[in-house]
Chains A and B, each alone.
Chain A
């Protein structure tokens, strides 16, 4: 018995000693977060991580400003997330484009903000870096943090401000944070940008490796855009939001109109414009890249418009999103069978349709709205008309198309592809040649619905988004371009808008609008309206001029993801986005039947849609969070 006890004791001792060691299998140098800030190289990785939360601006299936508005329409068996919103199906159960939680097509912005904070907390300890470089990086991260907050603010209104990270171990009470009032949100975002701007370079010097990162130009432009949003009717004295309060009674919206907000915006714009111009940004103008062909001034203007978007890093783009380039969106932007010899070209889906109301929005060739133009037969715009010599650069001669497509401004022809419309580029660079591509989309023609889902439901395509050097013969070869998030032209029209809000019609307002019009080959506002408009004095009142500036913006930035935000900002979405989506009767093969306006969809937009709903689950988790009005 004794021997057993000894034996057992030894067994137990040996095994329990070895047990402890046996289970100790984790090597000491398993990666932890400290490794991320142990050297410059990994800190740079973390910097890039913070950038990686950037919303995908150049992807129409991920950018609500592109497909969740009323500019793009796509025939799809299963609508994409932004399109569900466009159709009025936004909901509080598992919302679409959920940027709050990073679901259903939304980017997880609060995750980005957390990583930004982690970066700011830890960058100080990186040993092998100069303070100067750290300062630049810190400034970039602050700007990013500001942008993520701003993006949330635009979608959801007042949001909780994540100035500092809560620890993982934070208790139930601590994590129940509440939304901050809208003015506080704006001030915090501006504060971050103000802190960031001085340390950022005016523009990128090391372009091959750094283009796309934050610059002082971007920070200043962004700040101006933030303040424009804050000054606009949706957030400036919007009485619809009276009584929207936090659980503790704190009002989330300032419902008193404050004109000074426009001044603040105008100041920021002035500063941004001056700074950017000094840094070398200017309105883009196309230089003929194929000197062997003498192309007409009309084509030059069109190419200035098209390439102000498509030409990578052109002189007008202050902020290009290199991490979300216009790539797949180009597959959808040009019609299948654009080159009739390659009807089956793989990859060219051509299924983004531009509704007729957008088509009609473009000015006449006189630079005024078509329904205001004395010389433009608005009533008969759907009549069939054959392409003539006068329009030979824009409409195929002898081709039957609608009156609507005639006598329009060059931005119309630059932006839109349509049945009978000439499509300059794609290997055909002589605009006097007879082999120029043109769209033929009546039933049975190459661009019509031959393959299910791969067609334009309205008969119009966003030519503006399709790089003119892409190859469509044989197979689609694309030139993806960084998505232009902020352009100098944008600041010009913002500035004009702000000045008009402050003091009504004044020379500076006109000068900035006319800069844009000039590039588009249009007469200045005063001249155009005085000469051609049935409402020649429109620009003399603040309201009239506001309408002109608004329309100029909508036309200039059509399909670029600005209209979505502008309509909200101006509180005009309830009007605009309750109009029907219409197009041509695309399943007809003869012109007379084809050119009939056909109903496609009835969009619905109610007051609650201005601010998106927060998933009801989030409200259950956080008792201090309140839902947006109407949801």
Chain B
């Protein structure tokens, strides 16, 4: 299939590509001809000679005699020469010499009247196979010639390479994660290499901002991850990040397909602005978290995370929160290589929230009413409870397990990807496509002819083509598209889970079957009660579906030009990119008809199903428009790069880059937001290394952002760094066998952030006036016929607002032991200044419509990130690798404008940015007597059995002034992960554990308050909701019979009790956990089998994620923290096949 199409492309007449090549060839030929003309005209001397096995030296003398040319040669060079046999008459000197030199190991050059004879530089075609220690071909290994940047390639999908080099060249094989090897070609034509996994990483080439550096030259704090470590059975790459990288805090709060992006921060959060997540760059282009989520691991060539100032300062404006830099694979020379992977996985929730059974629900609902108001009635009659227990009339005494009716036990997902790579001298290509299908876990009603379950299909396509326009010019075209097609419930999957939590289990059934006398009814008879205005989540799920479509298209061209004609080591590259994002959704639904079962119809004897909303329902689908988001991004960078080694010991490099970016969003709804977002600036880097021992680096970014007043627009962000490779010192030599590597690094620098305030809030130096604000309008006249919209100020101008800056310090230590263990530890601290915040002293009497803000906030962050790696052979062919990493990142508010509190504990200064304040809950009140004799609590009505708070400031009442810092921050301060992989022969196994700690979260008392009505923010109050009863609450709550003062839930109430809902220690939970994140078994086919199958590599694997979790919290998956009532995190079992040809 593939071959056919390429042959076609090659022979296809008149294709633009063909024309281009032809033109190029023609130009080359014409140029050559011109040069030949010139050279021919300058040699007129001719010789006539007859020689039979004449020694070369004699031949030289003959020629010298006839023509007067002088021969210059090194006698040693003539030793291995062949005698000359020749018979020529009046032949030009050059032609004669060429005849004579053919087959000789020598070459000549004619310079005026001298003939320079020198040893011939032999060019040899060399090829080989690069494999890893398991014998499997390694694709993408960079093969280059030492001291010659002009020649190089990388291995194909099977690990093969072909390269034409000089005979005595030294080849350098390098790949991230493997030990770089240098091998001399000598006279070989085949050079096979076994790459060893690197533990000391020192020879790694690390992708850094706008360039690459050897790890041993690195001064900044940069981590690179082997892409295969990110391979998880999910179509969301972000879920793989937690615990994989030292320095990254990551966690996942939801498991809903399409909404399951993990949250991740580099070295924690140290700003109170809206932009807290790192800059994500794929092939140098800024992308969103979702774009990262959709990235195929198999397409990744390198994945680097830059953490400190030196590595991020070059991004100036954008680097304050760290940078994730990903490059995608490029094509390698050779015939087309095909590789594919297919996976099928089964996913089910790790843990679901357990609810009380319906009978308990009714009993406790009655208790909830009577316990608060003994005079008020009970909600359920004795009869209702008894008949429900009997279960003989499920129609009139329904029991509904809403979860069962809405949610399946498990679901199956499929993923596949395919890539093709190859190319020739002129062009190389890497093309990949991927498809994944994620199904939700929701039920579908067969009576509908549409699918209301979540069905998320994502497609990605990537095409990277490199063209060598000339010897020194390379031209790249990258096209990348990622597309989501979603069909699913109108309100999304989390809403289904939230609704299950908010529906009475004994009021009505999800739907009814029409009786015989109602057989004419075409629609589904959804259950309801009262006016038909109860929430029926089944109806909500089945009444329609949403389609959404998201696409991201990226087109990029890049030109790389070597400028060695100006000076050795200088290169120039320029890249332009445009990205288009679009999203739209469409909802189609009917309005459900609601029925209530009311006894038996006396005339028909059939169950009496009464229609509750005659005019409300529809039998036909209706349509409603959803949101449409469109954006266009343009990005351009031009860089001048210089790298050279002087006198073997001094290596110098420099970089100057100019960037330009623009983003334009559609449908933003206000003029100021409709204006393009722009950044521009110049960045630079200067590095110097002496003798691989001392390294120094200076970086700067000079960046402008359109958001600030003209004088404040540009910010200068410099950074410096020094590193010392102690182990390369002479005095260290005796220790080297034990401590194979010892390196110290230190950096300091300033990075900026212009994404302050909120995304919508842009030109701080301008006021934002809404000249037609309907919410501030008024109307007058007999019938209010004369109305005018009002004018309101959304922002007051402040021309002083400018960049937020982060001064970052980093001290790094690298230790290698026995060449097997590698330890890296970085100690970092950060000082954020100029954080935009609201002035706290502006009280309501000022009457302002919008907050007044200034760059006054300051915060600091510090911590450690460390990793340890081990790699080795355990003997008997068993290889073993283990790695672990640990991140501890804390933050502290340093300057925060706040009132002068008399109560010092109210001050946020000195606490983490995500520290929460709340009340100390002592216990529950014993009885009403105690309530009367305790300090008054100011949060609405309460009585015995409700939460009793501590009057911290002893002023006789519980108010906001009694709030103290509670527990740990809500962002975990420690994230860690560790795992191993091992293998023998064709089998491999790996396991990875991940955990986090120093995190607190709160059970949402409002959302779990049984029998109460809870609405999430932004929800319209069009349906009556009634919160379910958690089994844990049913089993353990305060009641008049059992006055457990420390019960899990306070006194029941049929309505929400605000007193119990304020943030307090009562519902505080420890978020720490450790989980077995991933286990994988793999089997690769043996070489023989591969040969027979004509494959290069086939690997079958089975893996599972989120198998076990160790945590003290049992109500739901602890990683979801406070979002436990949403779509749960999934446990996935996955079977996959990877093959390449």
Contacts and interface: CB of A to CB of B under 8 A. Distances in A.
A248 interface: no
B769, B778, B844, B845, most chain A CB atoms within 10 A: B845
A11 B671 CA distance: 34
Interface stretch (A206-214, A537-545, A558-566): A206-214
B788 A45 contact: yes
Nearest to B1059: A89
B285 interface: no
B378 to A, nearest CB: 12
Interface in B813-866: 840-849, 852
Contact of B846 (A8, A51, A175, A313): A175
A623 B900 contact: yes
Contacts of B846: 110, 114, 166, 170, 175
B843 A23 contact: no
Contacts of A125: none
B1056 A110 contact: no
B847 A108 contact: yes
B845 A30 contact: no
Contact of A52 (B776, B844, B1054): B776
Contact of A323 (B566, B772, B773, B779): B779
B675 A25 contact: yes
A31 B794 CA distance: 11
B941 A48 contact: no
Contact of A621 (B776, B788, B842): B842
B684 to A, nearest CB: 10
A30 B791 contact: no
B1033 interface: no
A11 B656 contact: yes
B766 A30 contact: yes
Nearest to B897: A172
Contacts of A237: none
B780 A110 contact: no
B786 interface: yes
A323 B1056 CA distance: 33
B843 A114 contact: no
B627 interface: no
Given A8-B656, A46-B791, A211 B567 contact: no
A323 B778 contact: yes
Given A11-B640, A35-B769, A208-B786, A162 B845 contact: yes
Given A92-B938, A209-B786, A616 B776 contact: no
B784 A22 contact: no
Contact of B793 (A33, A177, A323): A33
Interface stretch (B417-425, B702-710, B1109-1117): B702-710
A31 B771 contact: yes
A97 B781 CA distance: 29
A526 B436 CA distance: 90
A14 B324 CA distance: 30
Interface string B523-548: 00000001100000000000000000
B786 A22 contact: no
A535 interface: no
Interface residues of A, number: 89
Given A616-B961, A617-B960, A112 B847 contact: yes
Interface residues of B, number: 83
B852 A168 contact: yes
Interface in B775-802: 775-793, 796
Nearest to B1056: A78
Contacts of B843: 175, 618, 621-622, 625
B1013 A78 contact: yes
A78 B1055 contact: yes
B779, B843, B1024, most chain A CB atoms within 10 A: B843
Interface in B873-900: 899-900
Nearest to B679: A23
Contact of B782 (A84, A211, A213): A211
Contact of A26 (B675, B848, B960): B675
B682 A211 contact: no
Contacts of A89: 940-941
A3 B570 CA distance: 12
A93 B841 contact: no
A312 B784 CA distance: 11
A215 B740 CA distance: 92
Contacts of A32: 766-767, 769
B91 interface: no
Contact of B771 (A45, A165, A617, A618): A45
B706 to A, nearest CB: 4
Nearest to B780: A212
B579 interface: no
Interface string B936-957: 0011110000000000000001
Nearest to B766: A30
B847 A162 contact: yes
B701 to A, nearest CB: 13
B780 A209 contact: yes
Interface string A93-122: 110000011100000101111110000000
A36 B782 contact: no
Contact of A44 (B530, B788, B1056): B788
A477 to B, nearest CB: 14
Contact of B899 (A93, A108, A620): A620
Interface string A300-339: 0000000000001100000000110100000000000000
A624 B750 CA distance: 41
A587 B381 CA distance: 14
B789 A45 contact: yes
B782 A207 contact: yes
B763 interface: yes
B678 A208 contact: no
Contact of B710 (A8, A24, A46): A24
Contacts of A325: 784
A111 B847 contact: yes
Interface string A59-100: 000000000000000000110000010010101111000001
Interface string A1-14: 10110011001100
A313 B671 CA distance: 41
Contacts of B792: 49
Interface string B707-722: 0001001100000000
A210 B640 CA distance: 70
A11 B639 CA distance: 10
Contacts of A11: 638, 640, 656, 658
Interface in A34-56: 35-36, 42, 44-46, 48-49, 51-52, 54
Contacts of B671: 30-31
B769 A33 contact: yes
A279 to B, nearest CB: 17
A6 to B, nearest CB: 10
Given A26-B675, A92-B938, A323-B779, A48 B790 contact: yes
29 contacts: A3-B566, A8-B640, A11-B640, A11-B658, A15-B682, A22-B678, A23-B705, A24-B710, A26-B675, A30-B763, A31-B769, A31-B771, A33-B793, A45-B789, A49-B777, A91-B959, A92-B957, A114-B847, A115-B847, A162-B845, A175-B842, A175-B843, A209-B781, A209-B786, A212-B779, A322-B781, A325-B784, A587-B377, A622-B845
Interface of A: 1, 3-4, 7-8, 11-12, 15-16, 18-20, 22-27, 30-33, 35-36, 42, 44-46, 48-49, 51-52, 54, 77-78, 84, 87, 89, 91-94, 100-102, 108, 110-115, 160, 162, 165-166, 168, 170, 172, 175-177, 207-213, 312-313, 322-323, 325, 344, 346, 451-452, 454, 587, 599, 616-618, 620-623, 625
Given A25-B678, A92-B938, A176-B841, 12 more contacts: A4-B640, A15-B658, A15-B680, A23-B706, A45-B771, A77-B1055, A100-B845, A160-B845, A166-B846, A454-B531, A617-B960, A621-B840
Shortest beta-carbon contacts, A-B, top 10: A114-B847, A49-B790, A620-B899, A110-B847, A91-B938, A209-B786, A48-B778, A101-B844, A621-B843, A51-B778
